[in-house]
Chain A
């Protein structure tokens, strides 16, 4: 980040923690998350809004962070994949992906998880068609999607049993 006069002061809350930074206006939200604060769970795929790998939640709404400037998130709440479970305490959605082989290379997975987090908050009991329709947003080049749909259905079962949190 160069010391241009036009850099902007921002305060962006990521996963509940507030980050105050002085940034170039052209900094993408995806790069703010990865390089600015070092949360590398959010992946960058196409950088033109096609693939959805960089999906995060911005004020609760699934958003392509590569098509969003970090300054647009000033004063707002961002949630990334790091806000879900931990390696020894997976969230129901992550557990669903693990049990049902919802990933192979894993590149699209953080975006898939955040996209489905929004869906399961809106609708904790989506049918298969609803899951498939929403998955239209993001591209996976490994799984052929069937296992991802199965993973989300498994997460729905797990949420019914354990807790209502995706």
Chain B
């Protein structure tokens, strides 16, 4: 359980890091916090010829609120975001979801951008930024590119980044004050990999649900939003029966996945249970208590 041999460099600026990436491209991996990458090296799951250590680039560690959006530097650590009052005030679903991301020691070192680029299908943050409609800013020596979150996550462990591109910033639009949100998850142990992770956002306008976003991760496939579940509530007055219908639509439409930890039927059950739980919580937070 030791990493294979690799070359190592620690560029002192983003510009130098992008130059290194353009030189070594597909043979190199960026090292941020390392808490996904180094276990994979230890298990010899990957063998990059070179690591480009960007973990000390403080220029990519920030949380800024401006022009109706949050700009978060890709190398901001999980615990920095979890403890940020600015994030809690503007983007409470992210704070709620962060309580499920690994554990405290890993959150001390792991970074937001590293987590998104790894795109493990059990990770929470790719779902959170997709629900929020965030924009990813990718840079290379050639260009700066903005990628909507829903196009960034291509497949489990695959993103839209080219080999010479680096994710540098995530821009999260601010949601209306008083919006409803919830993030819930079932895992074997608290903080462990999710079997099903689920999040939702909605706004209540004159008693009807607007801009309903419902999404899941099933730890196996690249699952995100489920439009069939969203459609059950969009433009309607939330009720117990509609929430149940949305939950059944989610369970029917989520990609079937079975693995060592949970079979397909169990995952569908959990999907429906989590959907009901989170939709009630989101409605309550938006000011509508659902009885029964």
Contact partners of A115 in chain B: CB under 8 A: 105
> Which positions 1-39 of chain A face chain B at CB distance < 8 Å?
4, 6, 8, 24-26, 28, 31
Candidates B5, B41, B43, B105; contact of A24 at CB < 8 Å: B5
B interface, how many residues as a size bin?
A: 20 to 34
Binds B, one of A55-63, A81-89, A96-104, A147-155: A55-63
Is B106 close to A, CB under 8 A? yes
- Asked whether A28 lies within 8 Å of B109 as measured between CB atoms, the reply is no
Binds A, one of B32-40, B142-150, B243-251: B32-40
Contact partners of B105 in chain A: CB under 8 A: 52, 55, 61-64, 115, 137
Is B234 close to A, CB under 8 A? no
Candidates B3, B103, B106; contact of A28 at CB < 8 Å: B3
Q: Could you tell me the distance between the alpha carbons of A92 and B99 in the complex, rounded to whole angstroms?
A: 30
> Which positions 12-66 of chain B face chain A at CB distance < 8 Å?
31, 34-35, 38-39, 41-43, 51, 53, 55
Q: Could you tell me the distance between the alpha carbons of A58 and B42 in the complex, rounded to whole angstroms?
A: 20
- Asked whether B43 lies within 8 Å of A67 as measured between CB atoms, the reply is no
Q: Could you tell me the distance between the alpha carbons of A8 and B51 in the complex, rounded to whole angstroms?
A: 13
Q: Which residue of A lies closest to B55 (CB)?
A: A72
Q: Could you tell me the distance between the alpha carbons of A48 and B39 in the complex, rounded to whole angstroms?
A: 5
A25 and B51 contact, Cβ closer than 8 Å, known pairs A49-B35, A66-B42: yes
B65-103 vs A, Cβ < 8 Å mask (1 yes, 0 no): 000000000000000000000000000000000000001
Is B1 close to A, CB under 8 A? yes
Q: Could you tell me the distance between the alpha carbons of A71 and B56 in the complex, rounded to whole angstroms?
A: 12
Contact partners of A47 in chain B: CB under 8 A: 1-2, 39, 42
Q: Could you tell me the distance between the alpha carbons of A18 and B55 in the complex, rounded to whole angstroms?
A: 22
A117-133 vs B, Cβ < 8 Å mask (1 yes, 0 no): 00000000000000000
Is B11 close to A, CB under 8 A? no
Q: Could you tell me the distance between the alpha carbons of A82 and B101 in the complex, rounded to whole angstroms?
A: 30
Contact partners of A64 in chain B: CB under 8 A: 35, 105-106, 109
Candidates B3, B53, B106, B191; contact of A26 at CB < 8 Å: B3
Give the tally of cross-chain contacts (CB within 8 A): 84
A49 and B106 contact, Cβ closer than 8 Å, known pairs A67-B39, A72-B34: yes
Q: Which residue of A lies closest to B37 (CB)?
A: A67
Contact partners of A63 in chain B: CB under 8 A: 105, 108-109
A interface, how many residues as a size bin?
A: 20 to 34
Q: Could you tell me the distance between the alpha carbons of A72 and B37 in the complex, rounded to whole angstroms?
A: 13
Candidates B8, B109, B191; contact of A67 at CB < 8 Å: B109
- Return B192 CB to nearest CB of chain A, in Å: 9
Q: Which residue of A lies closest to B109 (CB)?
A: A63
- Asked whether A62 lies within 8 Å of B104 as measured between CB atoms, the reply is yes
Contact partners of B38 in chain A: CB under 8 A: 28, 49, 66-69
- Asked whether B103 lies within 8 Å of A137 as measured between CB atoms, the reply is yes
B181-202 vs A, Cβ < 8 Å mask (1 yes, 0 no): 0000000011100000000000
Is A136 close to B, CB under 8 A? yes
Q: Could you tell me the distance between the alpha carbons of A25 and B49 in the complex, rounded to whole angstroms?
A: 12
- Return A29 CB to nearest CB of chain B, in Å: 10
Q: Which residue of A lies closest to B110 (CB)?
A: A67
- Asked whether A62 lies within 8 Å of B108 as measured between CB atoms, the reply is yes
23 contacting pairs across A/B (C-beta < 8 A): A6-B8, A25-B7, A25-B51, A26-B5, A26-B6, A28-B3, A31-B2, A48-B1, A48-B43, A49-B39, A49-B106, A52-B105, A62-B105, A64-B109, A67-B34, A67-B109, A68-B109, A69-B38, A71-B10, A115-B105, A136-B103, A137-B103, A137-B105
